[in-house]
Amino acid sequence: MTKPLENRIALVTGASRGIGRAAALALAAQGAHVIAIARTVGGLEELDDEIRKAGGSATLVPLNLKDFAALDRLGASIFERWGRLDAFLGNAGTLGVLTPLGHLEPKVFQELLDINVTANWRLIRSLDPLLKQSDAGRALFISSTVARKPRAFWGGYAMSKAALESLALTYAAECEGSAVRVNLFNPGGVRTAMRARAMPGEDPSTLPRPADIAPVIVDLLSPACARHGELINYRDL
């Protein structure tokens, strides 16, 4: 039986753990060849082992998203091998430090911009021609509730996610008239290491697991998805 994403090429950032890892596994399970990007080689190799055990395939790309020149080269490498990209999940992100704005160190502020915003912009520049070579290119960016409902001490992270939302929705507007569909996805609280750092007193058993939300991500990256230019909240589905 043909799988829904058979012969599709999907790129996932932050693929070695959390939501990115779960999404990569789910995409591969539906037939996509996954280009998995993360800093940690060990985590990528473990992901690859699991994908292959389930009969899927992946290409591992150990990469720091702050290496902007490497992000610029990525699109050319994908074009040389596949000639297109069918799905892009901009998942990787950093929490920074939860602290009053006046105490936020400049280097932490800059890293929030570099990873949560600039890296996604560089990836749009690098991958947009490839997505437009697909018959149904799909791009999805992971956002957060604090992007639109800021809270005390979360200013750095909230600022970066608000900027990401503006970036993604602008890109969506620029893709009107093409076969590319671009959306934002807010998963809400999910049982991840980042969430545990942000909310150390929270009972993780009250939260959905990354694997619980991965099917929604797969649907939003599938050719059948017609949604475009939207912020989609997991809890509204």
Give catalytic residues, as residue numbers: 157
Where are the extended beta strands (E) located within the chain? 9-13, 33-38, 57-62, 87-90, 138-142, 181-186, 231-233
Indicate the helix (H) or strand (E) that contains 161.
Answer: helix 155-174
Distance CA 127, CA 86 (A): 10
Q: Using the CB atoms, write b or e for 216-227: b if 16+ within 10 Å.
A: bbbbbbbbebee
Say which residue the tokens 């939501």 belong to: 19
Bridge partners of 66, per DSSP, are none
- Backbone phi and psi for residue 123, each to the nearest 5 degrees, phi listed first: -70, -40
DSSP character at residue 230: -
